[in-house]
Chains A and B, each alone.
Chain A
Amino acid sequence: MTRYTSSPMLRAVATGALAALLGGCASFSPDGGLDAVSAMTSARTGQDLQLTQAKHDSGATQAEVARLLGAPLTADGAVRVALLNNRGLRASLAGLGVAEADLVQAGRMRNPGLSFSRMSGGGETEIERGVMFDLVGLLTIPIRRDIEARRFQGAKLAAAMDAVRLAADTRKAWFNAVAAAQSAQYAEQVREAAQASAELARRMARAGNLSALDGAREQVFSAEATAQLARARHQATAAREQLARLMGVWGAQTAFTLLERLPDLPAAPRDGDNVESLAMRQRLDVQLAKLDAQATARALGLSKATGFVNVLDAGYVNTSKTGAPREQGYEIELVLPIFDWGGARVAKAEALYMQSVHRTAHAATSARSQVREAYSAYRTNYDLARHYRDEIVPLQKKISEETLLRYNGMLIGVFELLADARAQITRVTASIEAQRDFWIAETALQAAINGSGGSAAAAASVVSSAAGSVDAAAPEH
C-alpha cells in the first residue's frame, strides 16, 4: 500500500486538468448549435430552421408564416410553416441551449468558496476561517468537457431528428388533408346522383309508376349517400385539423386554403438500389447511436488508462422514446485506489461499451430493414396509383361511355345510368386515395432514409444480432 502516492496516472489526470484550466474557459457559440441543426434539417427536408430561436421570434417569422398561409398552401409551404411555427419543435430546439449551457459550464472551474464559522459557548468563542477549492472539479474538467461536447452534439442530432420528423408528419398531413377534401367533394357528387335518383323515384311514384317498395329502395340510396357525405366531410375536417396542429396555427391562421389537387405522380419511380446506403449515411438515429458508442469508447479508454476515474454512468443518450423526455446524464467520481485497483470497473466499462456497440448495430439493422420496407411501400403505392390512373379509371370511363350508349338505346334505364355515375365517382375517389397513399409512402421513404424512420417505423425495431455499419464506433485508443 505504498504506491498510491506516486501513481503516474493520477498525476497525468491532474496535469491535464490544470492544463485545460490554464488553457482558458469554454464560451457560448454564436448560434447556440442551431446552424448545425438547421444544416442537418435542410439537407434532409430542403427547409432550414432559421429565425426559429425563441429570442429571435420576430415579426419577420410571423410575416413569413402569414405569407405562406395567405396563398393556397403547398406541401412545402405547410412544412415551412410547421418548422417556423410548431411550438413542440421550438421546445426541442430550446433543449439545445440547455445542452450548450452544460457544455460551457463543464469547461469552468467551480468558484472557490470561503467559509467562516463562529461558535461560542461556555464562555469561549471559536472562529474558523477556511478557503475551499474544488480540486475534484479541477481534475475532471477535461473529462466533463468531452462528455458535454458529445451531449451537445447529441442534442443537435436529436433536435434535427425532431425537425425532420415534424417535416415528414406535416407533409403526410398535407397529402391527407388535400385528398380528404377532394374525396369530400366527390362524396357530394355521389349524393347529388343519389338525390337525383331519389327525386326521380318520388316523381315516378307521384305519376303512379313506382311501387312503395321500389321507391323506398331508391330513397335509401340517397339517405345512405347523405351519411357518407357527412363522414367524408368530417374526414376532411379531421385531416385539416391534423395539419393545423402540426403547423401550429390557430385563430385566423386556421383559415388557410389548400391546393385543390394532389401533385401528379412523378413520371418514373425512384430507383431503390442505394436507399440502404443512403440511410446509413443520413439517418440521424444511426448517427446518434454511433455518437453514443464513441462516448462509451472514450469512457472505456479512460477507465483502462486510469482505473480510478469512474465515468461509467455517463448515460447512453437515449434515442428519444416518443412522449417521454430524453434521459441523459453522467457522473464522474475520482476514487482512491486503496482497496480496488479498478479491474472490475474496466470490465464493466467494456461491457457497457459492447452494449452501446450492439445498440448501434441494432439501430443500423433496424434502419436498413425500415428503409427496405419503406421502399417497398413506396414502389407498391407508385405502381398502384399508376394502375388506377392508367387502367382502372380509363376502364371505368369506358364503362360509363358504354353505359350511356345502352341508355341511349333504351336498353337500360336512368337508374342504372345514375348507379354507374356513382360507381365512377367511387373509383375516382379510390384513385385519389391511391395517389395520396403514394405521396405518403414517398414521404415515409424520405423519413426512413433521412430521419429516424418516422413515427410508424419507430415501433418496428426488435433485437437483432447482425451488426450494420458500426466501424465508426470502435474504441479510440
Chain B
Amino acid sequence: MRSRRDFFTGAAALVGAGLVSRAGAATLPEAPIMSSAATQPPPPPPNGRPYNPVVTLNGWSLPWRMNNGVKEFHLIAEPVVREIAPGMKANLWGYNGQSPGPTIEVVEGDRVRIFVTNRLPEHTSIHWHGQRLPNGMDGVTGLTQPGIQPGKTFVYEFVARRPGTFMYHPHADEMVQMAMGMMGFWVTHPRNPAQHRVDRDFVFLLNAYDIDPGSYTPRVNEMLNFNLWTFNSRAFPGIDTMNVRRNDRVRIRVGNLTMTNHPIHVHGHEFEVTGTDGGWTRPESRWPEVTTDVAVGQMRAIEFIADEPGDWAFHCHKSHHTMNAMGHDVPNLIGVDHRGVAEKIARLVPDYMVMGDKGGSMGDMEMPLPDNTLPMMTGQGPFGGVEMGGMFTVLKVRKDQKPGDYSDPGWYRHPPGTLAYEWKGEPPAALRKQDAGGQSMPAANAPEVEVTVRKPTGHQGHH
C-alpha cells in the first residue's frame, strides 16, 4: 500500500502518522509529522487536479487524502521544538511537528476538508486568512465557532474558490498563540497549471519571536520588542538559500504574521509584485521594484527572471531585522578611547574585552555566549563574515542548476574581472567643501555646537 509518505522520497524526516485515536482512525486522515527543519523539495501532486507545487523555505507541504472528491488534511496543533538556526532551539507551538506548520496546497475549485486536532494546553481555532468561505468556517473563536478544546478535533470544510496566496493561524488567544509560532502557509493554485506558471515558486512566512538570550521559550506578552526576526521561524544563518537556474522565472511569496512591516529587498534584479492579498495583480498595474514592503497581515508575491548569475543577498531592509538578539541599551562606545579604563575593568572582570569602540561589528571575535543564543551577526561567506542574522538569505542563480534541483550549488565563482578589488596606488587628497548651505529659517540665537571629527587612527587595538 502506498502511503502519503512514499511521495516524499528523500524526506526521511517525515515520520509516522499521529492518529488521534483508534476509534477516529477510520474517519480521520493521516496526520504526518515532520521532524526536520530543512527545506523539503516539492513532490508533484499524487492525485486530484494537477498543479506546480511551491517550495516552502525550511518547510514542507502537507499530504492529503482524497475522500469522495474532497481533499482531506489533518493538522495537529501541538507544542514543538523548532531549530531556529544551528545552535539554537526554541519551544514553540506549531502544527504537525514544526512551526510554522506545513504549507497547504490546493487547486482553485477544490473542496477541502481540514481536520484540526488540538493538543495544546488551551483551546484554539484556525482562521483561513484571506479565503472566501462560509462564515462559520472562518475560525474566529467566540464569533463564528467555539474554541477547539484540548484533545478535541474540529472539521473545517469549504471550497477553495479564489486562487492566490494565503495563510492560516489561530484566532483564539492569538497574541499568545502567534507569539508561540502558530501559523502556516496556504497556496491555492489556479485551475489551469499553465496560468501564472513559474519555474521556481518559493514561499515563507515572516515571523518574530522574543526569546531571552539563554532561554528557550518565547515571551508571549510581547508587543514590539521582538529580538528574533525569522523566515519560517528560522534565522540566518539557519535559512536555506534559494537556489535557481539562470533565466528561471522565480516567484517568491511572503506572508507577514509579525507585528511590523518588512521591506523585502532582493539584490541584482528588479521584480514586480504579481500577487497581493486580494489575488493576482493585473500586468498593467505592476511596476518594477527592488524592495517591496510587506505590511502586517499581508501577503505579497514577487516575480522576476533570475538572469544575473551570482550569490545575491535577499533580506528585510530594516537593518535590525538582519540581526539576532541584541541589547537595546548597550552604550554607544564608538570613538571612545579605552586606554587605561579597559585594564581597570579587566582587573574586576578578568575576561573583559573592549567591544563597540569602533562600531558594532564583532568581526571574527569568537566569544562564549549564553546558552541557546545565536550570535548577533554571523554566517560565513566565501570572503569572511557576512555580518547578518535574522531575515537574511541568499538567492543563488546558476546556469547549470537543474530544473527541480533545489540543492545548494556552493559559492559563486566570479568570472575574471567581475570582482571588486583593492586599489594599491596612492589615495588622492580629499577635496572638501566647507559650506553647509544656507538655512531658510535660521534660529535667532542658535548656540554654536562644536563636534570634533574623530577618525580611527589604527593605533587603538586594545583587544
Q: A410-B326, A410-B362 are in contact. Are A207 and B335 (CB under 8 A)?
A: yes
> B340-397: which residues lie under 8 A (CB-CB) from chain A?
340-341, 344-345, 347-349, 351-353, 355-356, 360, 362, 367-370, 373, 375-376
> B392-435: which residues lie under 8 A (CB-CB) from chain A?
none
Q: Is the pair A414, B369 in contact by a Cβ cutoff of 8 Å? A: no
Q: Tell me if B331 counts as interface (CB < 8 A to partner A).
A: yes
Q: Is the pair A413, B349 in contact by a Cβ cutoff of 8 Å? A: no
- Complex CA gap A404/B370 in Å reads 9
Write the A408-447 contact mask toward B (1 if CB under 8 angstroms, else 0).
Answer: 1111111111100100010000000000000000000000
Residue of A nearest to B350 (CB): A404
Note all chain B residues with C-beta closer than 8 A to A203: 336-338, 341
Note all chain B residues with C-beta closer than 8 A to A404: 349, 351-352
Write the B252-275 contact mask toward A (1 if CB under 8 angstroms, else 0).
Answer: 000000000000000000000000
Q: Tell me if B334 counts as interface (CB < 8 A to partner A).
A: yes
- Complex CA gap A242/B149 in Å reads 73
Q: Tell me if A82 counts as interface (CB < 8 A to partner B).
A: no
Which residue from B214, B334, B341, B376 sits with its C-beta under 8 Å from A410?
B376
Q: Is the pair A412, B351 in contact by a Cβ cutoff of 8 Å? A: no
Which residue from A196, A206, A207, A413 sits with its C-beta under 8 Å from B348?
A196
Q: A409-B370, A410-B356, A411-B326 are in contact. Are A204 and B345 (CB under 8 A)?
A: no
Note all chain B residues with C-beta closer than 8 A to A413: 327, 329-331, 333, 356
Q: A195-B344, A406-B213, A409-B369 are in contact. Are A417 and B352 (CB under 8 A)?
A: yes
Q: Tell me if B451 counts as interface (CB < 8 A to partner A).
A: yes
> A361-409: which residues lie under 8 A (CB-CB) from chain B?
400, 402, 404-409
Q: Tell me if A109 counts as interface (CB < 8 A to partner B).
A: no
- B39 → chain A closest CB, angstroms: 28
Q: Is the pair A196, B345 in contact by a Cβ cutoff of 8 Å? A: yes
Q: A199-B344, A418-B345, A421-B348 are in contact. Are A410 and B337 (CB under 8 A)?
A: no
Write the B146-189 contact mask toward A (1 if CB under 8 angstroms, else 0).
Answer: 00000000000000000000000000000000000000000000
Q: Is the pair B341, A196 in contact by a Cβ cutoff of 8 Å? A: yes
- B80 → chain A closest CB, angstroms: 26
Categorize the interface residue count of chain B: 35 or more
Residue of B nearest to A214 (CB): B331
- Complex CA gap A113/B336 in Å reads 101
Q: Tell me if B325 counts as interface (CB < 8 A to partner A).
A: yes
Note all chain B residues with C-beta closer than 8 A to A408: 353, 367-369
Q: Is the pair B351, A204 in contact by a Cβ cutoff of 8 Å? A: no
Note all chain A residues with C-beta closer than 8 A to B454: 207
Number of A-B contacts (CB under 8 A): 115
- Complex CA gap A43/B279 in Å reads 99
Note all chain A residues with C-beta closer than 8 A to B340: 199
Note all chain B residues with C-beta closer than 8 A to A406: 213-214, 327, 369-370
Write the B90-132 contact mask toward A (1 if CB under 8 angstroms, else 0).
Answer: 0000000000000000000000000000000000000000000
- Complex CA gap A402/B325 in Å reads 15
Note all chain B residues with C-beta closer than 8 A to A68: none
Q: A208-B451, A410-B356 are in contact. Are A405 and B327 (CB under 8 A)?
A: no
Q: A408-B369, A410-B326, A410-B327 are in contact. Are A204 and B344 (CB under 8 A)?
A: no
- Complex CA gap A408/B367 in Å reads 6
Residue of A nearest to B340 (CB): A199
Q: Tell me if A189 counts as interface (CB < 8 A to partner B).
A: yes
Q: Is the pair A204, B331 in contact by a Cβ cutoff of 8 Å? A: yes
Q: Is the pair A209, B332 in contact by a Cβ cutoff of 8 Å? A: yes
- Complex CA gap A412/B369 in Å reads 12
Note all chain B residues with C-beta closer than 8 A to A200: 333, 336, 338, 341
Q: Is the pair A209, B335 in contact by a Cβ cutoff of 8 Å? A: yes
Note all chain A residues with C-beta closer than 8 A to B213: 405-406, 409, 411
Residue of B nearest to A201 (CB): B331
Q: Tell me if A346 counts as interface (CB < 8 A to partner B).
A: no
Note all chain B residues with C-beta closer than 8 A to A199: 340-341, 344
- Complex CA gap A209/B375 in Å reads 25
Residue of B nearest to A402 (CB): B370
- Complex CA gap A210/B329 in Å reads 12
> B300-320: which residues lie under 8 A (CB-CB) from chain A?
none
- Complex CA gap A418/B338 in Å reads 14
Q: Tell me if A317 counts as interface (CB < 8 A to partner B).
A: no
- A410 → chain B closest CB, angstroms: 6
Q: Tell me if A192 counts as interface (CB < 8 A to partner B).
A: yes
Q: A192-B344, A203-B341, A406-B213 are in contact. Are A412 and B330 (CB under 8 A)?
A: yes
Q: Tell me if A160 counts as interface (CB < 8 A to partner B).
A: no
Q: Is the pair A192, B348 in contact by a Cβ cutoff of 8 Å? A: yes
Note all chain B residues with C-beta closer than 8 A to A425: 348
Q: Tell me if A193 counts as interface (CB < 8 A to partner B).
A: yes
Note all chain A residues with C-beta closer than 8 A to B351: 404
Q: Is the pair A411, B344 in contact by a Cβ cutoff of 8 Å? A: no
- Complex CA gap A414/B344 in Å reads 12
Note all chain B residues with C-beta closer than 8 A to A204: 331-333, 336
Q: A203-B337, A404-B349 are in contact. Are A409 and B344 (CB under 8 A)?
A: no
Most buried by A among B214, B368, B370: B370
Note all chain A residues with C-beta closer than 8 A to B325: 409, 411
Note all chain B residues with C-beta closer than 8 A to A207: 334-337, 454
Q: Is the pair A402, B214 in contact by a Cβ cutoff of 8 Å? A: yes
- Complex CA gap A406/B451 in Å reads 32
Note all chain A residues with C-beta closer than 8 A to B370: 402, 405-406, 409, 411
Note all chain A residues with C-beta closer than 8 A to B451: 208
Q: A203-B341, A405-B368 are in contact. Are A418 and B348 (CB under 8 A)?
A: yes
- Complex CA gap A358/B370 in Å reads 69
Note all chain B residues with C-beta closer than 8 A to A208: 335, 451-452
- Complex CA gap A173/B57 in Å reads 72
- Complex CA gap A168/B376 in Å reads 59
Q: Mind listing 23 A-B residue pairs with CB under 8 Å?
A: A195-B344, A196-B345, A199-B344, A200-B336, A203-B338, A203-B341, A204-B331, A208-B452, A210-B332, A405-B213, A405-B369, A405-B370, A406-B214, A409-B326, A409-B369, A410-B327, A410-B330, A411-B370, A412-B330, A413-B327, A413-B329, A414-B345, A417-B352
Extra 5 A-B pairs, beta carbons < 8 Å, given A203-B338, A409-B376, A414-B355: A193-B348, A196-B348, A204-B336, A405-B368, A406-B327
Query: What 3 pairs between A and B have smallest CB-CB spacing?
Result: A408-B367, A413-B330, A413-B331
